[in-house]
Amino acid sequence: MTSCETNDDNSIPDEKPNDTTINYNFGSTASKDFIGQIVDENENPIQNAMVNIGSSSAETDANGLFIIKNASVKSKFAYVTVAKTGYLNGSRTVVPTSGENTIKIMLLSATVVGIVNSGTPENITLPNGTKVDFDGNFKNIDGSEYSGAVSVIMHHLDPSDTNIDAKMPGSLLASDINGNAKVLETFGMLNVELVGSGGEKLQLSGTASIELPITASQAATSPNTIPLWHFDEEKGYWVEEGTATKIGDKYVGNVSHFSWWNCDAQFPTVSLCLTVVNPSNQPIANVTVELALNDQTYPRTGISNSDGEICGLIPANQTITMNIKDNCGNIVDTSQIGPFSSDTVLPNVVLTTGMVQQTTVIGTLVQCDNSNIIDGYVLLEYGNQTLVATVTNGSFDFNTLVCSGNNSFTLEGYDYTNLQTSGIINYTFTTPVTNIGNLITCTSVNEYISYQIDNDPVNYLIGNIDANYSTERLFINLKENGTQSKSFSLSGNTNIPGIYTTSAFLMESGDFNSIDIQTTNTVSFNLSNFGPVGDYIDMTFSGTYVDSSTNTTHTITGVIHVIRDN
């Protein structure tokens, strides 16, 4: 926990220039792990984006994912930056926790919205009323005068935007005019980039007037005069510079340069950490915690890491509403916390079974030759979240909250070393544990059956698998042949996704003879997807059965991922 760190200092992280103008305790140098996703404004993953954390860097893969282990950061300040051609630079600052820190950054497109010319006062206006008045004076980065056409890239971030936390740079940590650390409440953000006719970056030589619309929900609480703040891309926080005045339903102010500008109310800061656990005091990951001042319109959110922890900056001496949400965005608990006058670690936030239904998804990620994957990850798509888990010698697990009436999720595994993928496979949650067995990442294999008996080696059945549905009967068969040494068959009386027993499905194989209604068993069949012809049938099964020939009890788990033939 950050409160246990020693030898704290007030310097900026090692990778940034020293700065003594902000009175904020960045903490001591620490080694932290990060995993994250870079997406565009439509939630599409961005590949080959360059992510930097301290002196560590990584490129995103086809899913926009990056993993950086042992990054050197400050214990109370980690600055993550992202660059990709065609997009504005993105960034995030967080108070890192001891577990794996999850980051999501949404890059904004570097689309030109208008062109102005040097020597002539002109303006650019966005459809929502955001406006910039240019005086016609521009300069190159080296300070020399620029003459010619100027392409303007411009974005306005509305405080009501549900993705504002992912889109905005850094966080809401700021330095006021006296160098005091503050946390901000935004009334709107503006980014402007200026590009010359030769593609060169430009800046203002004089000043520009900016106008930012005030949302209707904040109109009553918006002050008549508000500080302006620009984002310092080198330091990773906002810096106070000038003011804006409320004129009608807009804030209007003058600026002398462009990057990100922000109209914000300011509050003294304290650090808040909390841990989300179940009644057995086990940490719960991927829980969304939403905090809002009682007089603020829009909340800010955080997501618990693999240790159930969330840490961040909050306004000091303020009463705060804390909402706990499930993975579909439903509020499952609400409470009042604070006010806090100093850094605080809350007592554990306990989510009972009456609040949420919790499940742990476990499995093993394997290669084409059935060996465990050492360097890889698994994506879980559920509700409104994309969850990521790295593997440890093939093993992976997710901890998630199941939303009422929504039990379906998908998994997709990735093998970094061999650049193989499992493809997207459908599953259904069971509680308290969803054991999906083995997930095979083998691009050359598009369907398979796998099962494991007791602790014996996993059997992978790959070949020409017949999967048919006719006269209300489902048949899945793989016969022994020259390359496949085992046979397998499954038949059932339903094609409706759900959880069933051997009254609905029976299996046969040389390894376990027959498991059916005549067999003493606890086997459960989880049919999660039944696609049309040419699409996938996905099923998992697990439980115990008694071998009638030896009268011994065995456990069995398995996965069926096959293409429906008719």
Q: pTM of the predicted model, to two decimals? A: 0.77
Average pLDDT over residues 333-355: 91
CATH fit for domain 111-350, picks 2.60.40.2190, 3.60.9.10, 3.40.50.20, 1.10.10.2520: 2.60.40.2190
Residue 481's pLDDT is what? 53
Instruction: Please write the tens of the pLDDT for every residue from 227-270.
Output: 999 999 999 999 999 999 999 999 999 999 998 999 999 999 89
Instruction: Please write the tens of the pLDDT for every residue from 524-545.
Output: 999 999 999 999 999 999 999 9
Q: How far apart are CA 248 and CA 252, in angstroms?
A: 10
Residue 4's pLDDT is what? 33
Average pLDDT over residues 385-406: 87
Equal fold, 2-106 vs 111-350: yes
Average pLDDT over residues 75-83: 95
Q: Annotate 18-47 with b (16+ C-beta within 10 A) or e (fewer).
A: ebeebebbbbebbebbbbbbbbbeeeebbe
Residue 17's pLDDT is what? 34
Residue 295's pLDDT is what? 67
Q: How far apart are CA 295 and CA 357, in angstroms?
A: 32
Which has the closest alpha carbon to 563: 540, 536, 532?
536
Residue 443's pLDDT is what? 81
Is the CATH number of domain 2-106 2.60.40.10? yes
Is residue 206 pLDDT above 50, yes or no?
Answer: yes
Residue 485's pLDDT is what? 57
Query: pLDDT category, 16, cuts 50, 70, 90?
Result: very low
Sheet hosting strand 505-509, strand order edge to edge: 466-470, 473-478, 488-492, 505-509, 513-515
Residue with tokens 């994912």: 65
Average pLDDT over residues 376-405: 87
Which has the closest alpha carbon to 296: 266, 326, 269?
266
Instruction: Please write the tens of the pLDDT for every residue from 423-467.
Output: 889 898 888 889 888 899 988 778 888 888 988 877 878 777 899
Residue with tokens 């090692």: 14
Residue 5's pLDDT is what? 35
Query: pLDDT category, 15, cuts 50, 70, 90?
Result: very low
Is residue 402 pLDDT above 50, yes or no?
Answer: yes
Average pLDDT over residues 326-345: 90
Is residue 18 pLDDT above 80, yes or no?
Answer: no
Structural domain boundaries in the chain: 2-106, 111-350, 356-445, 449-566
Residue 75's pLDDT is what? 92
What's the whole-number average pLDDT of the chain?
A: 89
Instruction: Please write the tens of the pLDDT for every residue from 462-520.
Output: 777 899 998 889 999 987 654 455 789 999 999 999 999 999 999 998 888 899 999 99
CATH placement of domain 356-445: 2.60.40.10
Residue 548's pLDDT is what? 83
Q: Supply the DSSP symbol for 216.
A: G
Q: Supply the DSSP symbol for 166.
A: H
Average pLDDT over residues 281-291: 89
Average pLDDT over residues 302-329: 89
Query: pLDDT category, 97, cuts 50, 70, 90?
Result: confident
Is residue 558 pLDDT above 80, yes or no?
Answer: yes
Average pLDDT over residues 276-283: 90
Residue 156's pLDDT is what? 97
